[in-house]
């Protein structure tokens, strides 16, 4: 499976960027991944509050890989926007292809998103059709925008690819409702991404696991909202007693398929949260 190094003039971590003074490398984050037995990792965090970009392993953050199930963020948006899925409760019948026990049944979009079932989103793509599906990908300027012959599997077969850099840009626009989709569609997808809510933060993301030769790539893409409680002035427009401060992130790493000594599905979340703590995005 091929990868591509991005050489984008507009990339947020380009050395020629006018925002270079707000771009910070964190080589010390390597120790977090080493702690969990993770190699070949990268992470990018965009701090919306301080307009800065924090990263570890720049070249990997700029390299395009298969998005795997992180594409379900976009697949859901396409399903909702096209009308093929009127809402997140829309059920697509199981196509009788056995994949995983949790997926071998009729499912709603929300269920399929949470347990990451390829069959549901293949069904969305098939209903939308190649031409319209390509239109949405082009409009989003998603990764390399290539769908290949099997467009309904492009996000898992190594045709469609995207970088961590680009993933951060995608979820930032989603969070602010700036993607070329209706606000309703974006709001529904944001609600499906929410995994953890505490008094101090809300963590929203989508994971993905794909094949790269004899390795797996493990993705986690999303945002965390740090919650700060405060007493607003009586004339303040904000009548709530709290404010949300978002940080957008994309992390990926590779591990051999033969490596069964670690539960990388769990470790990717643990590593992400530790980096977020070190940076101060969560406590």
Cα gap 111→119, rounded to integer Å: 12
Q: Is 90 found in the same domain as 155?
A: yes
Among residues 123, 143, 161, which one ends one of the domains?
161
Does some domain include residue 6?
Answer: no
Q: Is 61 found in the same domain as 170?
A: yes
Q: What is the pTM of this model?
A: 0.90
Collect all residues with Cβ–Cβ distance below 8 Å to 263 and sequence separation of at least 6: none
Tokens of 11: 């990339």
What is residue 236's predicted lDDT score, i.e. its pLDDT? 59
Closest by alpha carbon to 224, among 166, 282, 279, 185?
Answer: 282
What is residue 241's predicted lDDT score, i.e. its pLDDT? 66
Cα gap 167→70, rounded to integer Å: 9
Cα gap 13→20, rounded to integer Å: 7
Closest by alpha carbon to 227, among 213, 217, 214, 240?
Answer: 240
Is the separation of the CB atoms in 126 and 137 below 8 Å? no
Tokens 């390299």 locate to 63
The H or E element containing residue 252 is strand 242-256
Q: Is 147 found in the same domain as 234?
A: no
Find residue 201's DSSP bridge partners: 226
Does some domain include residue 222?
Answer: yes
CATH number assigned to the domain comprising residue 151? 3.40.710.10
Q: Is 175 found in the same domain as 193?
A: yes
Q: Is 278 found in the same domain as 188?
A: yes
pLDDT tens track of the chain, all 283 residues? 444 444 443 344 443 333 444 899 999 999 999 999 999 999 999 999 889 999 999 999 999 999 999 999 999 999 999 999 999 999 999 999 999 999 999 999 999 999 999 999 999 999 999 999 999 999 999 999 999 999 999 999 999 999 999 999 999 999 999 999 999 999 999 999 999 999 999 999 999 999 999 999 999 999 999 998 766 556 656 555 678 899 999 999 999 999 999 999 999 999 999 999 999 999 8
Is the separation of the CB atoms in 208 and 221 below 8 Å? yes
Q: Is 194 found in the same domain as 122?
A: no
Among residues 127, 161, 195, which one ends one of the domains?
161
Q: Is 142 found in the same domain as 212?
A: no
Closest by alpha carbon to 116, among 221, 11, 227?
Answer: 221
Q: Is 178 found in the same domain as 80?
A: no
Cα gap 109→117, rounded to integer Å: 9
What is residue 17's predicted lDDT score, i.e. its pLDDT? 36
Q: Is 142 found in the same domain as 167?
A: no
Q: Is 180 found in the same domain as 45?
A: yes
What is residue 230's predicted lDDT score, i.e. its pLDDT? 64
Q: Is 239 found in the same domain as 213?
A: yes
Does some domain include residue 56?
Answer: yes
CA distances from 183 to 77, 84, 109, 178, 180 (A): 10, 17, 18, 8, 9
Is the separation of the CB atoms in 42 and 13 below 8 Å? no
Cα gap 113→117, rounded to integer Å: 7
Tokens of 163: 């970088």
What is residue 274's predicted lDDT score, i.e. its pLDDT? 98
Q: Is 76 found in the same domain as 61?
A: no
Number of folded domains in the chain?
2
Show the domain range for 134. 66-161
Tokens 């990908």 locate to 137
């Amino acid at each position: 499976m091929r990868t591509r190094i991005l050489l984008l003039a507009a990339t947020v971590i380009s050395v020629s960027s006018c925002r270079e003074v707000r771009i910070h490398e964190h080589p010390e984050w390597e120790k977090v991944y080493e702690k969990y037995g993770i190699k070949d990792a990268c992470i990018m965090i965009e701090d919306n509050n301080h307009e800065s970009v924090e990263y570890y392993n720049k070249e990997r953050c700029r390299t395009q890989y298969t998005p795997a199930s992180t594409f379900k963020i976009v697949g859901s948006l396409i399903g909702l926007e096209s009308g093929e899925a009127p809402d997140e409760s829309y059920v697509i019948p199981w196509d009788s292809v056995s994949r995983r026990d949790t997926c071998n049944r009729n499912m709603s979009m929300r269920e399929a998103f949470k347990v990451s079932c390829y069959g549901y989103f293949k069904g969305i793509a098939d209903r939308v059709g190649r031409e319209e599906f390509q239109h949405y990908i082009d409009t989003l300027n998603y990764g390399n925008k290539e769908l290949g012959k099997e467009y309904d599997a492009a996000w898992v077969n190594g045709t469609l690819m995207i970088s961590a850099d680009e993933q951060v840009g995608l979820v930032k626009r989603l969070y602010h409702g700036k993607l070329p989709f209706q606000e309703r569609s974006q709001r529904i997808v944001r609600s499906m991404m929410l995994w953890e809510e505490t008094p101090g933060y809300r963590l929203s993301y989508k994971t993905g696991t794909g094949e790269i030769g004899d390795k797996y790539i493990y993705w986690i893409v999303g945002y965390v909202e740090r919650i700060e409680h405060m007493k607003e002035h009586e004339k303040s427009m904000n009548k709530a007693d709290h404010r949300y401060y978002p940080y957008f992130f994309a992390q990926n790493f590779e591990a051999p398929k033969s490596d069964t000594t670690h539960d990388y599905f769990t470790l990717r979340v643990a590593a992400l949260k530790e980096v977020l703590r070190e940076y101060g995005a969560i406590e």
